[in-house]
Structure 1
Amino acid sequence: MDRWFRVGASAVVVTCVGAGLLAGPSVAAPDPDYAPVIARLTTDITTSMEQNGVVGLTIALVDGDRVVWTRGFGYADRKAREPVTKRTLFHIGSASKTASAIAVMQLVQRGLVDLDEPLATYVPEFRLLPRYKRNVITVRTVLDHHSGIPGDVFNGMLTVGKPDPDFRTWLVKALSRMYPERRVNTVYAYNNSGYVLLQNLVENVIGLPFDTYSRRYIFRPSGMTGSTFNTTSAPASRLTRNYTATFGPDGSISSVTTQPREYINGWTAGSITSSAVDMAKYMQMLLAGGEGPKGRVIKASWLHRMWKPQEVTPLDISFMHFGLGFAVGDPGLDWAGKVVWHDGATVWNHSMMKLLPGSDLGVFVSVNTVGGAGIQSDIATEALTLAYAAKTGRQPPAPEQAPKSPLTTLTADQLAARTGYFGGTASLYKVTSDGAALTLTSNAGTPAATSQTLLPHADGWFRPQGKELPLVRFRTVEGRRLMVTRIPLSGALVTLIAGEKLPETTLRAPWRSRLGTYRAVDANPHVDPSLVAREIQLRELDGLLVMDASSESGTQALTVRQDGVAFTAGLGFGLGRGKGECLIPAKTATGVPTFTYLGVKYKRIA
């Protein structure tokens, strides 16, 4: 979504130019008073950290070339009572992708890389198994997450306690044994694996180690002396410790546990360690159109192209769209102008960077604890809302209210046309009809299943009985039957895909004979189990082949191709993410069923 707030742009330009003919000597506007903003944020951050068990947090707020605020809260090392400071290093996770994209765009700017050339032109070691004809994965489709490369091949991408310097070599080999998830430019699907390959691209084209290149051409001209992509070189004395907060049944914090050091081995997907001080400099460089204190990083015209959504397909039903390395659009801030941003998450560090380029405002927030709500995003939105109000006098609009619409009646056939199983992000939905209303069951076929009655309304949306939200609707887009929903997010109502209807099918004998529980044979032991499932169960549900993974992949329905290869099916809040991943069956020498999924081999144990 690209909400530019350009209404009346021509009139504004004419008015401003004409006003210059009549105006007297210009008077510089006074600097905004940000003291009340800082005071409010200090109180709210402290409260939010206490409520969510967050041990440490860092924040940077900038207004153009003015650093409004950099500060640490809580502890970098709770046991040693070492506080977080503005120079404490945090893993910024996938916010690193913005710098990775800049590295590629520097080469585009120099004429060394063409965005619309195949990725394999610059990374000849990359290949996938053939699935589609005339399916060219370009550099652009990698940068804007429309490539169809299997995206979450996490086996070694991020490790705990020990780095994996061979991960990229392993990834290239693993991808060569996988199929594309879908045709290019079908749907947005956030993609870590594709971004890992950008390190190969830069090193192949320029002939320098990526660590050297990024320091010389990104960090040094930006003045970021303490930041690095090299996950092993960040000094432990400056790096925050990691924590997990757990909560009791009543929602109170029951424990906070110290966790080991983590290493992000897919550098260009998310390995930067940085501080509030350095991230302030990075945001200032971006807001200055690519000009850093020690030199230009990228031309403003190229940077602005990065902030423009690229391919937006009919299936890209979301509150944001992707440019080249940056997300564009934010329902909590779109009222203030164009928003560009990127968040980031490792296992335990979670970050958010948001910019309002039209107002020269930027904020970065990072936390060192997982377990509570994602406070980094809420704090970042609040910080920009308060700063924008202090600078312009404009206040955010009132929260968007659910639209009103009377009940209506649909025929039994009309209701029946909306029933079936729908594959969501990491869940299955089942929709049934009693002839008068629909019943929507989330987590269908699992012990966590919950159901609610949906009533039809005259505006075409279904609403839960006795509630205004969420709204649910059924649409056909590009020949695919979708269940879409409208939910509140940051004061706005946003429309998202909840699930895609799955075809009715009968599970064939070869896969029925493979049902059971499987255990990972060759998973990297240093990868957190939330990223790589150690056990996967295959089961049948009303003719569907269903996979239950112990990782964040969750429950997935699979469609089976004629040759026996299965693919995760559906669409969800993350659109194509996690969908189209191949599960390739095999057997051991003794006939025990096995399969490979996301580069990991699984063997049946029961």
Structure 2
Amino acid sequence: MRARTRTTFTTATALATLAAAGVVVSPRLVVAQAREPYPGYAAYVEQALKTWKVPGTGIAIVRNDSVVFARGFGVRELGRPAPVTERTLFAIGSSSKAFTAAAVAMLVDEKKVSLDAPAATYLPGLQLADPYATRELTVRDLLSHRSGLARGELAWYGSGFDRDEIVRRVRYLQPSWSFRSQFGYQNIMYIAAGQVVAHVANTTWDDFVKSRIFGPLGMTSSSTSTKALDPQMELATPHATVNDTVRPVGAWRNIDNAGPAGSINSHVVDMAQWLRLQLGRGSYGGRQLISARMIEEMHTPHTVIRLDSAARVLNPDTHLQAYGLGWFLQDYRGKLVVQHGGNVDGFTALVAMMPEEKLGVVILTNMNGTGLPTALMNKLFDLHLKAPARDWSGDLYARTLAAQARAKTAQQRLEASRVRDTKPSLPLAAYAGTYADSLYGDIVVREQNGKLSMTFGPIWRGELEHWHFDTFRTKFDTPVLGPIPVLFRLNAAGKVDEMVLDMAGVVTFKRRPDPAPAAANNR
């Protein structure tokens, strides 16, 4: 991975570009990078990319309402020379949630939405499995991950359902915890929050974000859908580790149906303007786009998050963690950190701020599920605070390797538990059929040439490999998902009655009755 010379761009150029687009700009939009604002940071990033085996990253730093650093490192795609620059586009994943919270905040400022009004006020079709939760669920609850629901990811991840249909089907998702009793990360509730914006503003979430956020901030390269991307654009290629080797994973994953929860695409220069808005307490270029009161509301703890071992791996020095509205909140060396990461197939992002220091950073990578952004965030904060030197990249990478080793051991134990030389209870054709779930829809199992295959939604397809007894495994045609256990259950009559799929949670699909044979024609 070759090093690149520092990218330098001037205030005049940036101002001229945005002025031509009709954007109101501040003279502090971008500063010329005469020198590195945090000496040694760029070299640290270069080394960290090699350590974590991440192909490329874009990083921008905002300080005192100025973009003091914006640069790309590494390459857009392994094996190709095109470098990542400060204008290379990445998927930002769940970092999009803060945009949805901001959109709701704008409507609160306009007195069109109340955070404490029942969400069903704005979405009359919204219903949860628990009638009490349906009645009491507020817009604030949608944005703070305290609905009592586990993720239910298959309702959107590859299902083919649109946003309204996903929200309609959430009534079939059974609660995992008592309502408001604990933090439970929930993408469907953010889809619902986006639909609140759409229904109240009489538009789409996408158009609202474009006109009310992207436009005023001059985020002219940002989009809410992969459909807006063109091969001629400066696009990063998604990557993942497959069989211990980092490689490209194909096309960008389209998750438009979960847009408010995670579909935004951007580059670090655009995202730096988003940081300036947040750090500026809702003001940008002399315009108050969001009230300071609502920015404070988004940055205020709403749901306590219990610190577990996973959280301590990423930041061993954190004492407290909570969720605001669209943002995670935690302490770091006595300072408040407001941040949100994101993952979409082949991309990992992190947007983070230390508001007391008027400091923010955005880190976008073309690698699936990597801890690199957290290491680079912590390193930057240490440099800014002049804290004792610590190799966050080396430290967190060692912890990550240890976690991977434990996962590998668990996988080996699973392999050892396999009962060899068993056969399915029935001929393979007996397992073919359509299996349905009220929330997730249909899975179709087919038998052909002595093999079973399954199809879920418009994109997920995979062969079923026999594991043991009536348990199979499938591998969908994407390297970011591992093997998925599939168990068939027989009823008292000895016929296949259910299929249990362990993907983003255990889900039981009920077999639909076979269609009745067509009646013979009367002669």
Equivalent residue number for residue 269 of structure 2: 277
Deviation at 1:288, TM superposition (A): 0.7
Aligned CA distance change for structure 1 residues 388 and 133 (closer, same or farther; 3 Å): closer
* Residue 261, structure 1, aligned to residue 278, structure 2: no
CA 1:593–1:365: 2 relative to 1, 3 Å: same
Q: In structure 2, the residue corresponding to 1:259 is in which secondary structure?
A: coil
1:113 matched to which residue of 2?
113
CA-to-aligned-CA distance 1:336-364 (integer Å, 9 cap, x gap): 51110000001110011110000000011
Counterparts in 2 of 1:212 and 1:134: CA distance versus 1, 3 Å: closer
Q: Which residue of 1 aligns with 2:353?
A: 355
2:45 aligned with 1:141, yes or no? no
Deviation at 1:174?
A: 3.2
Q: In 1, Cα distance between the equivalents of 2:218 and 2:410?
A: 49
Contact 2:55–2:75, Cα closer than 8 Å, also in 1: yes
The residue type equivalent to 2:235 in the other structure is: L
State whether residues 149 and 193 of structure 1, in contact with CA within 8 Å, keep that contact through their aligned partners in structure 2.
Answer: no
Distance 1:88 1:553, change over 3 A: closer
Letter in 2 for 1:338: L
Deviation, 1:216, is 1.5
Contact 2:126 2:134 in 1 (8 A): no
Equivalent AA in structure 1 for residue 110 of structure 2: R
Residue number in structure 1 paired with 2:206:
211
Q: CA deviation at 1:184?
A: 1.5
Report the 3-state secondary structure (helix = DSSP H, G, I; strand = E; otherwise coil) of the residue aligned with 1:199.
helix
Unmatched runs of 5 consecutive residues or more in structure 2: 1-30, 312-319, 393-405, 418-433, 436-442, 445-454, 512-523
Distance 2:490 2:198 in 1: 36
Selected match of 1:364 from 335, 342, 362? 362
Matched letter for residue 244 of structure 1: A
Equivalent of 1:384, from 377, 381, 386?
Answer: 381
Q: Does the CA contact (< 8 Å) of 1:62 and 1:284 recur in 2?
A: yes
Give the C-alpha shift of residue 34 in structure 1. Answer: 9.6
What percentage of aligned pairs have identical amino acids?
A: 26
Q: 1:311 to 1:83 in 2, by over 3 A?
A: closer
Contact kept, 8 Å, 1:188 with 1:316, in 2: the verdict is: no
Of the three residues 279, 299, 306, the one matched with 1:287 is 279
* TM-score where L is the length of structure 2: 0.68
Cα separation, partners in 2 of 1:354 and 1:134, compared to 1, 3 Å: closer
Letter in 1 for 2:212: Y
Q: How does 1:164-179 map to 2 (within 5 A)?
A: 164=160, 166-179=161-174
> One-letter code of the match for 1:382?
K
Aligned equivalent of 1:224: 219
Task: Name the residue aligned to 1:95.
Answer: 95
Give the alignment of 1:336-485 within 5 angstroms: 336-370=334-368, 373-389=370-386, 395=388, 446-447=414-415
Give the aligned partner of residue 189 of structure 1. Answer: 184
Letter of the 2:98 partner, please give it.
T
Partner of 1:478: none
CA contact (8 A) 1:244 1:259 kept: no
Equivalent residue number for residue 329 of structure 2? 328
CA distance in structure 1 between the aligned counterparts of 2:91 and 2:353, rounded to whole angstroms? 19
2:237 paired with 1:241: yes
CA shift for structure 1 position 293? 2.4
Quickly say closer, same or farther: Cα 1:43–1:209, change in 2 above 3 A.
Answer: same
Q: CA deviation at 1:201?
A: 0.7
Matches within 5 A, 1:448-597: 520-521=443-444, 523-527=456-460, 591-594=495-498
**In structure 2, what is the Cα distance between the partners aligned to 1:326 and 1:284?**
15
Q: How many Å separate the matches in 2 of 1:200 and 1:50? A: 41
- The 8 Å contact of residues 310 and 322 in structure 1, kept in 2 or not, is answered as yes
CA separation of 1:528 and 1:595: change in aligned 2, threshold 3 A: closer
Distance between the aligned counterparts of 2:490 and 2:165, measured in 1? 21
Q: Name the CA shift for 1:246/1:131 in 2 (closer, same or farther; >3 Å).
A: same
CA 1:386–1:122: 2 relative to 1, 3 Å: same
CA distance in 2, matches of 1:273, 1:41: 25
CA distance in 2: counterparts of 1:38 and 1:121, whole angstroms: 49
Q: Alpha carbons of 1:173 and 1:395: their partners in 2 closer, same or farther (altered >3 Å)?
A: same
Preserved contact between residue 223 and residue 294 of structure 1 (Cα < 8 Å): no
List per-residue Cα deviations over 1:528-578 (Å, max 9, x = no partner): 98xxx98999999xxxxx99998999999xxxxxxxxxxxxxxxxxxxxxx
Q: CA deviation at 1:235?
A: 3.0
Structure-2 separation of matches of 1:114 and 1:139: 7
Code of the residue aligned with 2:221 in structure 1: it is G
C-alpha separation in 1, matches of 2:349 and 2:327: 14
Cα displacement (A) at 1:213: 1.0
SS of residue paired to 1:328:
strand
SS in structure 1 at match of 2:241: strand
Give the whole-Å Cα distance in 2 for the aligned partners of 1:104 and 1:526. 32
Distance in 2 between the 1:80 and 1:68 partners? Answer: 29
CA pair 97-537 structure 1, distance change in 2 beyond 3 A: farther
C-alpha distance in structure 1 between counterparts of 2:192 and 2:348, whole Å = 23
Q: Deviations over 1:349-387 (max 9, x none)?
A: 00111100000000111110237x421111122122213
Partner-residue secondary structure (3-state), 1:76:
coil
Does the 8 A contact of 1:54 with 1:245 survive in 2? no
State how far apart, in whole Å, the 2-side matches of 1:123 and 1:272 are: 23
The residue identity in structure 2 corresponding to 1:387 is H
Q: Which amino acid aligns with 2:236?
A: T
* Structure that is richer in strand per residue: 1
Distance 1:363 1:277 in 2: 11
What is the DSSP-based 3-state SS (H/G/I as helix, E as strand, rest coil) of the residue aligned with 1:594?
strand
8 Å contact from structure 2 (residues 343, 368) kept in 1: no
Q: CA deviation at 1:278?
A: 0.5
Distance 1:111 1:536 in 2: 58
What is residue 70 of structure 1 aligned with on the other side?
A: 70
Aligned to 2:520: none
Q: 1:335 to 1:549 in 2, by over 3 A?
A: farther
Amino acid at match of 2:238: N
